[in-house]
Amino acid sequence: MKKLKIFAMILWFTMLISTINLAQAQTFKNLDNAPHDITYFKKVQTGEPQVRVVYGRPATKNDKVFGEVIPFGKVWRTGANETTEIKFYQDAMFGNKLVKKGTYSLYTIPGESYWTIILNSETDTLGSFFYNEELDVARIQVPSIAEQPIDIFTIGFDQKNYGTQMILAWGETRVKVPLYLEKELIS
């Protein structure tokens, strides 16, 4: 009986130490407040990727993001941390500009009623600190519209009969960027 008690205590102590070590192993310090996300636009028929966007997702409790947190008229990295990157798996029309397949940085210049959307050839940069206008591949202007507030910056895609839209959404602002890909994408 005494041996069973000792064995039970040793087993309990071992389990306690294991639980403490496991809990410590799951403690993450200095987590990013704006984790990165990836969004894809894929062919309806095959699921093959056509466009991929990798971006940081900042969050705010402020209802007025643009014009306050993100100033109007200044180049923005279009997300948080590293510059947002967009990859086209095929040549595409970016608004009214032909863009060759490849990976680009996505910058924006928010305005009160129109935004400038920029594709730039320099990738792997931090924010907009090293933005170089001379490396712009395409610039288009699109209207911004007010909608229901969204707390976390989000990029997504919406497919219409007339083409695809890349939607940038944060706070009460939505910006729809027209993309024209292969005709077979339209279902």
Average pLDDT over residues 74-84: 94
- Residue 45: domain span: 30-185
Confidence category of residue 127, pLDDT binned at 50, 70, 90: confident
Is residue 148 in some structural domain? yes
Is residue 124 in some structural domain? yes
pLDDT at 120: 97
Q: Determine what percent of the chain is predicted with pLDDT higher than 70.
A: 80
3 three-state secondary structure: helix
Rounded to whole angstroms, the Cα distance separating 124 from 62 reads 29
Name the least confident of 71-75, 118-122, 126-130. Answer: 126-130
CA quadruple 38, 44, 47, 50: dihedral positive or negative?
negative
pLDDT at 7: 63
* Domain count along the chain: 1
Decide if pLDDT at 77 tops 80: yes
Tokens of 139: 């610039």
pLDDT at 186: 40
Is residue 11 in some structural domain? no
pLDDT at 161: 77
133 versus 15: which is more confidently predicted?
Answer: 133
Mean pLDDT of the chain, nearest integer: 86
Average pLDDT over residues 154-172: 91
Q: First CA to last CA across the chain, in angstroms?
A: 74
> Beta-strand (E) ranges in 2-91?
36-42, 49-56, 85-88
CB 132 within 8 A of CB 122: yes
What count of residues does the chain have?
A: 187
Is residue 112 in some structural domain? yes
Its pTM stands at 0.80
Is residue 25 in some structural domain? no
Is residue 146 in some structural domain? yes
Is residue 34 in some structural domain? yes
Is residue 152 in some structural domain? yes
What are residue 108's DSSP bridge partners?
Answer: 76, 117
pLDDT at 45: 78
